[in-house]
Amino acid sequence: MTIDRRTVTQLAADLRARKVSSVELVRACLPRIEASQSSLNAFVTVTAEQALAQAQAADRELAAGRGGPLAGVPIGHKDLFCTAGVRTTCGSRMLENFVAPYDATVVARLQAAGAVMLGKLNMDEFAMGSSNETSYFGPVRNPWNTDLVPGGSSGGCAAAVAARLVPAATATDTGGSIRQPAAFCGVTGIKPTYGRVSRYGMIAFASSLDQGGVIAQTAEDCACVLRSMAGFDPRDSTSVDIPVPDYLAGLDAPLAGVRIGLLKEFFDTGLEADYERHVREALAVFERLGARLCELSLPNIPRSVPAYYVVAPAECSSNLARYDGVRFGHRCRNPRDLTDLYKRSRSEGFGAEVKRRIMTGTYVLSAGYYDAYYLKAQRVRRLIAADFERAFAEVDLLMGPTTPTTAFALGAKSADPITMYLNDIYTISANLAGLPAMSVPCGFVGGLPVGLQIIGPHFAEQRLLQAAHRFQLETDWHARVPERCA
């Protein structure tokens, strides 16, 4: 018995119908995860004992006719959601042995909904990266071709779902960290509106951009998991007190009359021709479903990447100051004095990409540079948000490619940070504007998945999920499984 190709929705139903027990599912998953580690390296920590205990508890609840909407469903958490008693590494040597004494709100809510945690998923160090190569625990590999990267920073999450090691995983997206790996691995991912999911217990990279979300096989599963993790949290001052709708209700609603905008700036010269062909074919599917397409231009979009690489490093340089070797995390051996303690603990604890961003961020916030970089980037951010606002006065959804190319080879871009950063060119703007966005599998080029990106206005998650779900009822790209994992 394996989770095989069953979705969260199917598993939850089978568990409730007592066709399968949670313990059986967990027992089936664990050896598959174990076996995959050498080739995929998707997990940093596997919590076998705890998972079995949670599964037993879920089975008891289910037997008694109780249990939350996800009772007994195994999931994985990106390794930056704090889990009480289980280490949370953030993919960094700095937190290699860090065990949080509390659960992130997302973790607690999913546990309350009955989900069973199988383990913590590998990621780029502190969520900084687009290839999962910056993880201290080694790169994750793409299940479709293990010579390729799975994308990042939620590479472990996307790879684990693509390889059907877990039916769904929590993830986070600061500049594309859910959507880009979802596209590279052929799975479905949603980054909700900023403020929709609590950031409490989610280790920060860039606070004004970070947002927790879900990677799963289908839009329906994303709706199912998101429903249990979203909502106001008094411990996160930036979480928003707007009721969470039932994302599952209305998924089947027709798309007739829905206005879809194609972002001209997303179909630029950097986009691979075959990738573009699949995206346009996907758009034709929506047209057949009754949606109306039009082309739109958001003139400030090209400024997203430079603005992002000022704002995100600025916040990161401050957020990561707490890793000083004093209270938790890596501490160097035998520090000579305070300065030595700081310098060596941080030099040893952080990897190259994290250091690069801390230095960039420190620079752009420095006296004499603040106005020219940070303030200017914030102005650009407002212009981009205004662009989107104008667009959403005309259309209900925006669509385009998630990435310019399919997954690239390990090592192909790691020497050149700018090339790496440009991989996020289509995803970053939604973070800058705080908008909800998804990536949905929409084809294959050379055996590698292609992602369709859907962006909506603030708090329009339901509309995104509905469009993605209707698309998935018409297509089977999302249901394809890498041969080696089938």
Residues engaged in binding another protein (CB under 8 A): 80-82, 88, 90, 95, 98, 100-102, 104, 199-204, 206-208, 234-238, 240-241, 314-315, 317-318, 320-322, 324, 326-329, 338, 342, 362, 365-367, 370, 374
Residue placing its CB nearer to another protein in the complex, 49 or 241: 241
Residue placing its CB nearer to another protein in the complex, 324 or 348: 324
Bridge partners (DSSP) listed for residue 295: 262
Residues 6 or more apart whose Cβ sits within 8 Å of residue 174: 127, 153, 205, 206, 209, 210, 211, 312, 431
CB of 146 to another protein, least distance (A): 31
By C-alpha distance, which of 453, 471, 474 is closest to 176?
Answer: 453
Residue placing its CB nearer to another protein in the complex, 216 or 311: 311
Q: Is 403 exposed, middle or buried (0-12, 13-18, 19+ CB in 10 A)?
A: buried
In which residue are the tokens 């909407």 written? 69
Q: Whole-angstrom Cα distance, residue 443 to residue 20?
A: 33
Catalytic residue among 21, 22, 78, 191: 78
Torsion, Cα 263 264 270 271, to 10 degrees, reads: 60
CB of 232 to another protein, least distance (A): 8
Q: Which contiguous run of DSSP H or E holds residue 43? A: strand 43-46
Residue placing its CB nearer to another protein in the complex, 87 or 259: 87
**Reading across the β-sheet that carries 448-455, which strands appear in turn?**
43-46, 116-121, 74-78, 168-173, 211-216, 188-191, 437-445, 448-455, 397-401, 259-263, 292-296
CB of 436 to another protein, least distance (A): 17
Residue placing its CB nearer to another protein in the complex, 69 or 306: 306
Catalytic residue among 153, 208, 304, 345: 153
19 is catalytic: no
Torsion, Cα 413 147 163 97, to 10 degrees, reads: -60
- The number of CA neighbours under 13 Å toward the Cβ of 424 is 29
304 is catalytic: no
CB of 54 to another protein, least distance (A): 21
CB of 386 to another protein, least distance (A): 17
Tokens of 29: 């998953």
228 is catalytic: no
CB of 49 to another protein, least distance (A): 24
Residues 6 or more apart whose Cβ sits within 8 Å of residue 390: none
Tokens of 396: 């209900």
Residue placing its CB nearer to another protein in the complex, 201 or 451: 201
Q: What is the set of active-site residues? A: 78, 153, 177
